Chain A
């Protein structure tokens, strides 16, 4: 399998512990992939926000039910999932070839392809393209890739105003806020909060604006219409890029995307390299999987597709910026690379009991929820997002709903192992947790030592009152802050068994497998 794209990393980036031979991670100091606080700290803040809890619970419960209903309509849903997984796995195994094919096809149809190693390069490329078009403002389709690289910040630094045209992205932008959901970026806001934001920030809105959803949508429509008609540059992401034809595809619900990719003279698309799919026929699989998983609709209202430049129709200057920003580093991990299969539907967020309670901001990345917990650390390097792989109870609800069958719990466990192994390599002193785990392994690796430890644990009976323990020492104090702990019983099962049977009934009897020499076959 040839997977390493060979985009050379920038040598000697300050603060990076990576060896020069490894593919580079997304650079620090730019974009939105890293949290200011570890997950438990940020989550604690979010959990105390009663309004947020209520909004999230209501929104995720609604969308879960919608998804379940439309998924149950398709008798071949499991086959579709398997097809989606297979297409993605095959694409990742030959990613360099498909990207080359995409570049050739886009170029042949009059588009221009640019390669961006990271957020900084992508920001510079897009800024230069906007400046070359002579524009000082751009309209944007909702795009995770451009948010990942902090494109609006890069454009603002060059004096270019970027206007988000997706309703929820507009709410986030006007609220000087961060998105908290892949699909519904303003899921943490309710309608009265949105009304307040519009009244405060829109300037041209009627002071009589109510919090009626139709009135809010109309206010946004009036506000945006002026931008659509005046902007000469549109910026989008892409849900899919078809290697075979050079076609780019954006899937959306509001029609703002259709306006952005058709009205301006110049169209710039920033696409993560993992978004390429081999053939036009593959779109048929994903366009069934995505809307049902995402918005719980059979088909989304607007699917826009464009292939290079069509003379006299739509943008006459079409650019595709292919973004790495740590994706090749993720691709280098044969297990972890499955996170690159994600089609950004957000079904895993909506079913996640952790996400439902903490919201997206706690994850500190443009990619929140279960998929973010496995994607963000791979893009940035695990040390920069070390708390995320642990931000899950491993309940597995995310895996059940993933339209491309990403085994997120398995990836979480894998990344935890990578984190522990990397920490062992780079830190000279083991952590308290590592020492505890080593001690537990030593005790559990031998039944005699386990029995001795069980006897010692019965000293815990001294902590107990009326059959329960209400306060344990650290690190288990975190348990007894909210839950009682059981008092160790006077007798373990092992002791009870021994008292009943002695040692004579533990071994295999005639007829068991050992007598048939099964082990020697293996």
Chain B
């Protein structure tokens, strides 16, 4: 990972199509957090989607225009952030591969260059901005689920936990079998709904065993899955994105579990 030394002032936000549409609080929290840390955030309006759903479902040709759009939109920026390990993983591990598979070497090279400047939120904070204490306050019992693509594709390691440990007021409890997939897997959740649900059941059992009020992670998609299951069971546990916890400050209350269960 290349580290940018010195002052990063402008950061381009890739909101991701899922969060833009269904979880706008997550990119909003990302903006709040980064502005509080003294950075200017821009939202290039031409952005849409990284194309991961198409690629992982087999529709690579349909993903090509989305990859090209991502590269065209973000190529001008020095530092790009997305509040999603999965989307950043796809940008880094799939964009160039799909372009090459369709004999577009020029797009592949450009995609590699843009991907090298695209960071998942915890990577941006710890590696690029060099900050672990972001000045957050979040007085709740929280457990952290390391999503598969953050953990394995991006190897973020304990970066999110280092950030969470510095949040004041937080009661951070470890999640048993944390590194096991929650069963989301994109269209897997629908195509293999029974197996996905069996995996979700075990993940929920682990979350409930922690007696946490909040389950957090770096991906809105996995949280939608875990949160959807917990909500169906009236489990009384809320899912909150890492960005929302890090954006919270004393008195502001953003991301606090006002109501349990989505």
Q: Does A400 contact B (CB under 8 A)?
A: yes
Pair B65/A43 contact, Cβ less than 8 Å: no
Contact of A394 with B188 at beta-carbon distance under 8 Å, contacts A483-B232, A484-B232, A492-B21 already known: yes
Interface hit among A103-111, A234-242, A282-290, A493-501: A493-501
Q: Does A419 contact B (CB under 8 A)?
A: yes
A488 contact from B21, B42, B45, B149, Cβ within 8 A? B21
Contact of A481 with B193 at beta-carbon distance under 8 Å, contacts A393-B184, A506-B44 already known: yes
Q: Does B210 contact A (CB under 8 A)?
A: no
Measured between alpha carbons, how far is A353 from B53 in the docked complex, in Å? 21
Pair A438/B58 contact, Cβ less than 8 Å: no
Binary CB contact string for chain A from 351 to 377 against chain B (1 if under 8 A, 0 otherwise): 001100110000000000000000000
Interface residues of A, Cβ cutoff 8 Å to B? 39-40, 43-44, 47, 353-354, 357-358, 389-397, 399-400, 410, 413, 416-421, 433-434, 437-438, 440-441, 444-447, 450, 454, 457, 467-468, 470, 475-476, 478-479, 481-486, 488-489, 491-494, 496-498, 501, 503, 505-509, 511-514, 518-519, 522
Q: State the majority secondary structure of interface residues on B.
A: helix
Measured between alpha carbons, how far is A493 from B243 in the docked complex, in Å? 14
Measured between alpha carbons, how far is A392 from B66 in the docked complex, in Å? 24
Contact of A446 with B48 at beta-carbon distance under 8 Å, contacts A47-B195, A392-B185, A492-B24 already known: yes
Nearest-neighbor residue (CB-CB) of A57 within chain B = B202
Pair B153/A396 contact, Cβ less than 8 Å: yes
Pair B153/A506 contact, Cβ less than 8 Å: no
Q: Does B10 contact A (CB under 8 A)?
A: yes
A518: chain B residues at CB < 8 Å are 75
Nearest-neighbor residue (CB-CB) of A420 within chain B = B58
Pair A506/B15 contact, Cβ less than 8 Å: no
Q: Does B170 contact A (CB under 8 A)?
A: no
A392: chain B residues at CB < 8 Å are 185, 188
A-B contact pairs, 26 of them (CB 8 A): A358-B195, A391-B195, A392-B188, A393-B185, A393-B188, A417-B58, A417-B60, A421-B61, A441-B65, A444-B66, A450-B48, A467-B259, A475-B190, A484-B231, A484-B262, A486-B22, A488-B22, A489-B24, A492-B21, A493-B43, A505-B42, A506-B44, A507-B42, A509-B10, A513-B77, A514-B75
B58 contact from A419, A479, A514, Cβ within 8 A? A419
Binary CB contact string for chain B from 133 to 157 against chain A (1 if under 8 A, 0 otherwise): 0000000000000001101110000
Give the interface size bracket for B toward A: 35 or more
Interface hit among B105-113, B124-132, B246-254: B105-113
List the 9 closest pairs (A to B, CB-CB), nearest first: A393-B185, A483-B228, A416-B58, A420-B58, A395-B181, A514-B76, A441-B62, A493-B24, A396-B152
A441 contact from B25, B66, B93, B194, Cβ within 8 A? B66
Pair A470/B232 contact, Cβ less than 8 Å: yes
Q: Does B186 contact A (CB under 8 A)?
A: yes
B56 contact from A394, A482, A484, A505, Cβ within 8 A? A394
Q: Does B199 contact A (CB under 8 A)?
A: yes
Pair B43/A445 contact, Cβ less than 8 Å: no
Contact of A437 with B57 at beta-carbon distance under 8 Å, contacts A492-B21, A507-B44, A512-B10 already known: yes
Interface residues of B, Cβ cutoff 8 Å to A? 10, 15, 17, 19-25, 27-28, 42-49, 51, 53-63, 65-66, 69, 75-78, 93-94, 97, 101, 106, 109-110, 113, 148-149, 151-153, 179-181, 183-200, 202, 224-225, 227-229, 231-232, 259, 262
Contact of A413 with B94 at beta-carbon distance under 8 Å, contacts A441-B66, A485-B228, A512-B76 already known: yes
B183 contact from A353, A445, A468, A513, Cβ within 8 A? A353
Measured between alpha carbons, how far is A203 from B183 in the docked complex, in Å? 45
Closest CB-CB distance, B29 to chain A, in whole Å? 10
Measured between alpha carbons, how far is A441 from B61 in the docked complex, in Å? 9
B97: chain A residues at CB < 8 Å are 410
Measured between alpha carbons, how far is A440 from B18 in the docked complex, in Å? 13
Nearest-neighbor residue (CB-CB) of B61 within chain A = A421
Contact of A394 with B185 at beta-carbon distance under 8 Å, contacts A39-B192, A475-B190 already known: yes
Pair A454/B20 contact, Cβ less than 8 Å: yes
Nearest-neighbor residue (CB-CB) of A355 within chain B = B195
Closest CB-CB distance, B34 to chain A, in whole Å? 14
